[in-house]
Amino acid sequence: MIRPSRRTSIWLCLILLIVFSSSAYAEEGTIRKLSLDEATQLALQSFSEMKQTKWELAASEAEMSYIQSEKNKLASANVETKASLLTVNADDYFAEIKDWDDLKEEEQNAILQSINLQIAINRSINQWIQYQNGIQNAANQQEKNQQLETYDARLRELNCNQYLASLAVMKAEPLIRYKVKLQYIGLKMASSEMEFVQESFEDSQRLASDAAILYKAGRLSRSGLEKIQRQARAKQSELESKRNSYQIQLSQFKRELGINADLPLELDNLIIANPSSPDLKIAVDLDRNYDIKQMDAKIKLAKSNLDAAEKGTTEMKNYYTVLWSQAVEQRNTLRVELESAVEAYQAEAATLYYQFQNASSEAEDASEEAQDAYRLYVSKRISFAKLEQANQSQREAEYKLDQFRYQYLLQTERMKLAAEGVIISEK
């Protein structure tokens, strides 16, 4: 058997150490790429809004099942009592008399008179007992009916609550998808803004470096140099602020999705088309709106309560009439507000479209001016600072154009959400 030398063993250990260290470092430095679709799926599993609405639905179903069970028990219960009556049968008395045949006739007649008198008294008492028992049974039945009516009212309310809870669950899903898109797009916008500030900072650094050279050559005053240096420091502070803000948003996003806070996260690029029309051709049917459906359920409950109160007092009927009328009025008001919100969505989309068109023209002009500046700089007819100024104007125009793309995309998502039955009122 050939044994490795001590030097060979040391080298093998070092190699293994390097391999394991590299592997561990690669594991720690792994970047998690996250698409918008994946983020949406994680959100539907993790967001507290969805969990809460599902718990409320489960609680409503459980309570409704319990109340229904209690109502069924009461409905099948016999609340009538049977009164214990006094005997009116003479044989019952005779059975208690021993040696009847040995009694004299006068004694038997006296006993018969006593028995007949007692039977008459018992009949009178039995009438009173039956009367009182009838009153008690009627009271028991009335109490039972009232309790059944209470159960019916509660079941109507629970049935409405259960439907409202199911609507809340259905509403939560598109709302969470929209919220994730809002955060995802917001992070992409913040990243784009950070890149823009980064480029501006690098330009300011180059200008500061050139200014230092010009100052040493005596071609720039000290005040001019300090001004450019202050501008560079301001850009650096702005960049650090943007980075911190982005990291805070990203950390919150990861926390809500249940992603490890220490895991580096990279968002996929979004393919954003240019706005092609001032009109968002997305149909919104308000009858599908979850808020309208909730109001319809409340109107139905109020009408059911009003119908059930027809046999009640005038005050009770007036009370439920007011509730029903109020629910109808609230529904009508809500529909007008939602119609106005949809119109505002359309108007905002049209405004963003025309702003994008103007920004697009400005970006084209800035691009042509940057190209002209480059040709002039190459022919030594303008300074490098002038060239950088033209390039900076081009970057600003492109950044502005990019922001309008994101804003138009967000507006499109709002309209899609409205088409799914959820309208976010901008108040």
- Condensed to tens digits (0 to 9), the pLDDT of residues 98-140 reads 888 888 888 888 988 999 999 999 999 999 999 999 999 999 9
Q: Does pLDDT of 8 surpass 90?
A: no
Quote the CA–CA distance of 210 and 59 in Å, as a whole number. 70
Alpha-carbon separation of residue 187 from 7, 180, 256, 263, 269 (angstroms): 54, 10, 14, 17, 11
CA distance 95 to 75: 44
Residue-wise pLDDT for 166-176, tens only, equals 898 889 889 98
Amino acid letter, residue 266: E
pLDDT: is 216 or 10 the higher one?
216
Q: Are 150 and 56 in contact (CB under 8 A)?
A: no
Q: Mean of the pLDDT values across residues 145-158?
A: 90
What does the pLDDT look like over 302-321, one tens digit per residue?
999 888 888 778 888 898 89
Q: Check residue 56 and give its pLDDT.
A: 85
| Cβ neighbours, 10 Å, residue 217 | 8
User: Which residue has 């030398």 as its token pair?
Assistant: 5
Mean pLDDT of 258-270: 88
**CA quadruple 306, 309, 311, 314: dihedral, nearest 10:** -90
What b/e sequence results for 171-204 when a residue is b if at least 16 CB atoms lie within 10 Å of its CB, and e otherwise? bbbbbbbbbbbebbbebbbbbbbbebbebbbebb
CA-CA distance, 301 to 303, in Å (whole number)? 5
Q: Is the pLDDT of residue 146 over 50?
A: yes
398: its two tokens? 């492109």
Distance CA 416, CA 403 (A): 20
The domain locations on the chain are: 284-427
User: Per-residue pLDDT for 16 more than 50?
Assistant: no
Q: Looking at residue 29, what is its pLDDT?
A: 53
Residues 85, 129 contacting (CB under 8 angstroms): yes
CA distance 330 to 297: 12
Distance (Å) of CA 235 to CA 204, 205, 387:
7, 9, 19
321 vs 327: CA distance, rounded Å: 10
pLDDT recorded at residue 421: 92
Q: At 256, which amino acid appears?
A: E
Residue 328 has pLDDT above 90, yes or no: yes
* 10: confidence class by pLDDT, cuts 50, 70, 90: very low
Q: How confident is the model at residue 272 (pLDDT cuts 50, 70, 90)?
A: confident
pLDDT, position 30 = 79
What is the tens place of the pLDDT at every residue in 334-358? 999 999 999 999 999 999 999 999 9
418 φ/ψ sector (left φ>0, alpha ψ -120 to 50, else beta): alpha
The rounded percent of the chain whose pLDDT value lies above 70 is 93
Answer whether residue 187 shows pLDDT above 50.
Answer: yes
The helix-helix angle for 105-216 and 384-419 (nearest 10°) equals 160
Question: Which residues fall within 8 angstroms of residue 406, CB to CB, at 6 or more apart?
Answer: 185, 188, 189, 192, 272
